[in-house]
Amino acid sequence: MTDTTQFTLNRRKTLMLMGAAGLTSAVPGIGGLRGAAFAKDAPSGQVIIGFSQEPTVFNPHMPHIEVDDGIHYAIFDPLVDVDPDGIFYPLLAAEVPTVENGGISADGLNWRVKLRDDARWHDGTPFAAEDVKFTLDLLNDPDFRAWRRVGTEFVRDIEVVSPTEITWRLEQAYAPFLAILASTFIVPKHAFDGVDPNEAPFNNAPIGTGAFKLKNRVPGDHIELEANTDYFGDGPYLERAVIKYIPDMTVMYTQFKTGDIDMLALQWITPDHYEEARNLPDRVVEIVGNPFFESIQFNMERPQFKDPAVRQALYLALDKPSIIEALYYDVPPVTETFMPRESYYYNDALPAHEFSIDKANALLDEAGWARGADGVREKDGVRLAFRNSTTSGNELREQVQQFVQQTWAEIGVEMEISNLPPAVMWGDFWSMGQYDTTLVGLGVLAGPDPDCSDFFRSDASPALGGTGQNYWAYQNAEADDLLARGASLFSPEERRPLYLRLQEVIREDLPFLPIYQYAVIPGRKAGLEGPHGNINNRIDTWNLRSWRWV
């Protein structure tokens, strides 16, 4: 039984250099994660994987949620992928483009990518550079319902040099681009010939280069994937993989116990079942890291939260240890930042949170927030009263809210719980800043890159007229500067101090009160090898190609 999977990125930091990434790609993957360490036999056996959400979107470039990624990683390949250590390795690319191997120009603007010559689409057509060009063009097609254009919007002058070589220019230096490529699945040009890409038959009958083919989908129930025996890389080892949709977590856990499912994946075993689960016979149950963090998020536009003393006092009066111990059974690790602890850019020297009702009270007294007749503090006509919202029906979060409500009442703060169904909660209510505070789980990184401009840049707040995901309406000139410089530098060692400082700035400003970093508890039958947590990927089946029974 292992505990939280922690990767020692700091010791590998030189490997993180993009210049070295090409070299490391030649090193066999740890434990066969990249499928390089095992001899290839005919695929055999099947695995049934339980997901609590149903994958329905098979075109990886149309709007989708994380569970759909589970299918995309099995059916398609990006040019490069990234392992749990944050190290890039080539998939459809012949090598990871770096400055050293001439793949990226020194200024980061001109890219030259060499491609594999032995990859084929599931229908037998050879994979070629035209497909890469088509994919990048598709993402920038104004009529296509693309789900993401971050990074690819800077791509210009794509040129197919040969079937195995492609070049393009980036309009501006953009360090996260390699990470973006690691989740940009290449789709076949010939599947879109003469059809509206939004309505293409491909969208329900995907053709990829990946280790598995889509065999069958029974809507509302399961998806059957079969081995692609012509896969260019190592694997697949399984003849068949079944993604089973089980919306209720209690039911999913029961089916894990009865053996009806071989692997319990997204949304994993709940913390209250962890003790029992880890002692089940013939089951492997581990805690693995996850890049999301749980926090209480402020709407910085509300007058109550303009005063830093208020945010600091609320943090002082937040009993984090009790929440994590009593409600989450000590499963997730406490955090002070948005950056996952597994990241090379994680700042482990941030001031540790202290729980002190006395200090919180003193701070508010000092800042002039006086208690009114009803015990609630106020200053200049602003009462320290607000709503806290999250997805209704999430019992664990509701317990956290009640707990926080009680402790905050002790410092003269009135918090009203006002929860909403998910489609309402995360719609305009959240994104247009109609909330006071939320209890929210967020991941701000796309893969291993530390760039989070979209979440923290002053001009990225929709409530303030911006277009990003800065839903707290956070504004700080130093953070803006750090983010701008960080995104334009290519050396991880040069970037690191900037992101360490960014975390300090945000820890000091407290636009959100960090509680814990997510840790999830997948479970599998003993004998199933291959599943491995990957902090740089949001889905359990990212490396399905190397799963096998032993």
Partner 1 sequence: MTRYLLSRFWQSLVLLLLVSVIGFLVLNLMPGGPLSQYTRTPGMTREMLDRIAEQMGLNRPLPVQYADWAWNLVQGDWGKSYRDGRPVLTIIGDHLFATLLLMGVSTFFAIVIGAWMGIRSAVKQGSLFDHSATVIAMVGFSVPTFWLGLIAIFIFSLWLGWLPAGNMYTVGDGSARDIAVHLILPAATLALVSVATWSQYMRTATLDVISQDFVRTARTKGLTPRRVLMKHIVGNAVVPMITLAGMQLPTLLGGALVTETVFTWPGMGRLFLDSLGYQDYPVIMGLLMFSAILVLAGNLLADLAIAFIDPRIRLD
Contact residues toward partner 1 (CB under 8 A) are 46, 48, 54, 56-58, 63, 65-66, 143, 145-150, 198-199, 203-204, 218-222, 224, 240, 242, 244-248, 250-251, 254-255, 257-258, 260, 420-431, 440, 442-446, 454, 460, 462, 466-469, 471
When the beta carbons of 96 and 241 are compared against partner 1, the nearer one is 241
Q: Parallel, antiparallel, or unpaired for β 548-549 and 528-529? A: antiparallel
Peptide bond into 267 cis (omega under 30): yes
When the beta carbons of 207 and 444 are compared against partner 1, the nearer one is 444
| 187, 61 contact by CB (below 8 A) | yes
Min dist CB 173 to partner 1, Å, is 18
DSSP 336: S
Min dist CB 53 to partner 1, Å, is 9
When the beta carbons of 164 and 431 are compared against partner 1, the nearer one is 431
SS3 letters for 512-538?
Answer: EEEEEEEEECCEEECCEECCCCCCCCC
Run of H or E residues at 423:
helix 422-425
**Residue 24 CB partners (closer than 8 Å, separation 6+):** 15, 87, 88, 89
When the beta carbons of 61 and 353 are compared against partner 1, the nearer one is 61
When the beta carbons of 58 and 542 are compared against partner 1, the nearer one is 58
**Residue 62 CB partners (closer than 8 Å, separation 6+):** 145, 146, 147, 198, 203
Q: Parallel, antiparallel, or unpaired for β 155-162 and 110-114? A: unpaired
Helices 477-488 and 492-509, interaxial angle, to 10°?
160
Min dist CB 258 to partner 1, Å, is 4
Min dist CB 409 to partner 1, Å, is 29
Min dist CB 494 to partner 1, Å, is 23
Give all strands of the β-sheet with 263-264 in edge-to-edge order: 212-218, 222-227, 240-245, 46-51, 263-264, 523-525, 283-285
If phi over 0 gives left and psi between -120 and 50 gives alpha, with beta otherwise, what is residue 32?
left
When the beta carbons of 22 and 197 are compared against partner 1, the nearer one is 197
Min dist CB 255 to partner 1, Å, is 5
When the beta carbons of 128 and 170 are compared against partner 1, the nearer one is 170
Among 535, 540, 495, residue whose Cα is nearest residue 83: 535
Min dist CB 37 to partner 1, Å, is 30
